[in-house]
Chains A and B, each alone.
Chain A
Amino acid sequence: MKVWLPTALRALLLLLLIAFLLFPESFEPLFRSLVQPNAPAIYNQGSLLSLTLLHLKTVFFATLMATIIAVLLAILVTRPFGSEFLPLSRSLVNIGQTFPPVAVLALAVPAVGFGEKPTLIALFLYGLLPIFENTLTALTNLPQSVIEAARGAGMTGFQRLMQIELPLSLAIIVGGIRLSVVISLSTATIGSTVAAKTLGEVIIAGLQSNNLAFILQGGLIVGALAVLIYDGLSAVEGLLARRAGAR
């Protein structure tokens, strides 16, 4: 029974999330006691479903861009051509992580204005680091014997990269994407302070009107999304790791 329990719990969470997004009104009694008698108990300044989809869209595009750039950069600095940049890129990743997301978000505003764009930039920059770091770790820690064998078999550098190095690194790269997505899901809520349409709007509306139900709704949806995506990507990662091990 212990084996299927976590899966059942996640399925239940997913069902609850979908039900809440489609029929928020039916959950009204649950939130009623949290608000003043005459205040709305369910977010009423827009559709929760469309905000959730916009939130996911922003995170998806930022993560997609971050993945492409981070993996390309990591490949570049691990080739002989770019190896001069390897030590610097390591310390840059280290320095980059000290930039708080709010600061990145706020500093992007003067460059691109309010709305979705600064959020995308902040999520992209912040998402780069975990993916880059993981890809770098994976590519620099491959078993030397495998690389030598591939070289011995007459594979070119490009063939080695595509057929050996990247497939073997894939699980760890997905691990980086997983970290990046979870950070981005949470950071995207802050994007609403610069007028991006994300679930942060629900939370900020709650903070402004002192409505605990709104804050909870925004927070719980983001939390549920993060848990589900985290677990989903963990499963993918496990699958890839087993496949890489089987080779």
Chain B
Amino acid sequence: MGRTLPSVRLFDRVGGRGGLRIRLDKLGIVIALLAAYGGLGASFAVSKPNRIVQGQAKPILDALPSWAAWALMALLFVAAVAALLRTAAWIKLLAAAATLLALALAMGLAGHFLTPPGNTYARVSPASGFWILLLAFALLAADAITRLKPPPWMRVLFLILAAAGVGGLLVSGSWDGLSMMKEYAGRADVFWVEAGKHVTLALGSLVAAVAIGLPLGILCHRVEPLRASVLNTLNLIQTIPSIALFGILIAPLGWIAVTVPGAAALGIRGIGAAPAFVALFLYSLLPVVANTVIGLSGVPKDAVDAARGIGMTNRQRLLKIEFPLALPVILTGIRIVLVQNIGLATIAALIGGGGFGVFVFQGIGQTAMDLVLLGAVPTVALSFAAAVILDALIELNSRAVNGARSA
């Protein structure tokens, strides 16, 4: 819809016939300005003698071998022009993807180039210019994808391609000279253990919340008097700050571990993953229950009546009519929960529950920002991927519902 709207005209010679008209894209202007500042004004990489001291900022021309620096500059220029002109969305997407890949490769190259040979203490990390360029072309990619309006499976395909690209870079060792990867190299085993804990916490509490929340939601839908009190209670739980809820649960779970036989053997302890799991579960209940209620009450009455008319039992109606029609709304609740849980699981580290938060809080404690990044970047990537996949699922399901309705 954006393309039919008035645009900025660079050379607008209304009088002259066949006058040169270049129509500029407004977002392109923002992106080109960001790219100009990030590429020319700000520094590309920071080189530090060791991991915690202040570093020396280097612009692109000093951070890379000259052939690579000029090649990157040329590519940035071409991509910025592609963003500025009102070109087709897929051209912009290609330009953005190529630039993002080049930026990633260049950053890896800078890591090797700026580290003196044989020096294991020196650290190279991305500087503000790199992040600004990344932001500018990620914006361009996001805008192009939004305009292309890709079907759900294609968005998942884009996600897989991006993940494969990042995976390939990680495996190829291109980024090994970078500070964040050095932090990783020092704790590779721990990283995967914590990654496993993070995913188990986020997904496990989601599964538990769905297992309890769905029946509870159905019950609340059927039994009207129950609805307000259940939803209000769950609402109240949401107001307790996460670190407090994690802390408060230490006591009852510690008590259970001591008094209930066999509980300790199941891994239930006062500190650690158990209170984190319970806290995430409690936070997850509200979106699941509330969306189940909303979804079920949004099912058209005639559909239910028709089902009743053809002699479906209560149970058949629920499984074959109400539940499939409510599914998109319920899935939206699950999306909220999953994204929220992946973020909140970082806080579990404060009570010994593990997860990526371990690196974030260690990094904050040691003022080692590369360690913070090692925890924060996978968390953001994980919740982003979860959001894309669930959005695609929601769209697929609501299409199926709409198709069924119009048929």
Binding site for B on A (CB under 8 A): 34, 80-88, 90-92, 94-95, 97-103, 106-107, 109-110, 182, 185-187, 189-190, 193-194, 199-200, 203-204, 206-207, 212, 215-216, 218-220, 222-223, 226-227, 230
Contact = CB atoms under 8 A, between A and B. Distances in A.
A189 B243 contact: yes
Interface of B: 1-2, 5-6, 25-27, 139, 142-143, 145-147, 236, 238-245, 247-248, 250-251, 339, 342-344, 346-347, 350-351, 357, 360-361, 363-364, 369, 372-373, 375-376, 379-380, 383-384, 386-387, 391
Given A91-B146, A100-B342, A107-B372, A226 B243 contact: no
B239 A85 contact: no
Given A193-B364, A212-B251, A215-B248, A100 B379 contact: yes
A222 B369 contact: no
A98 B146 contact: no
B236 A227 contact: yes
A89 B152 CA distance: 19
Nearest to B343: A100
Contact of A219 (B142, B247, B339, B391): B247
Given A190-B243, A203-B243, A106 B363 contact: yes
A88 B243 CA distance: 34
The secondary structure that dominates the B interface is helix
B143 A88 contact: yes
Contacts of B241: 185-187, 189-190, 199-200, 203, 218-219, 222-223
Given A91-B146, A100-B379, A102-B360, A227 B247 contact: no
Contacts of B357: 102
B247 A212 contact: yes
A100 B143 contact: no
Contact of B2 (A87, A92, A107): A87
Given A207-B351, A212-B247, A190 B384 contact: no
A90 B146 CA distance: 9
Contacts of B343: 99-103
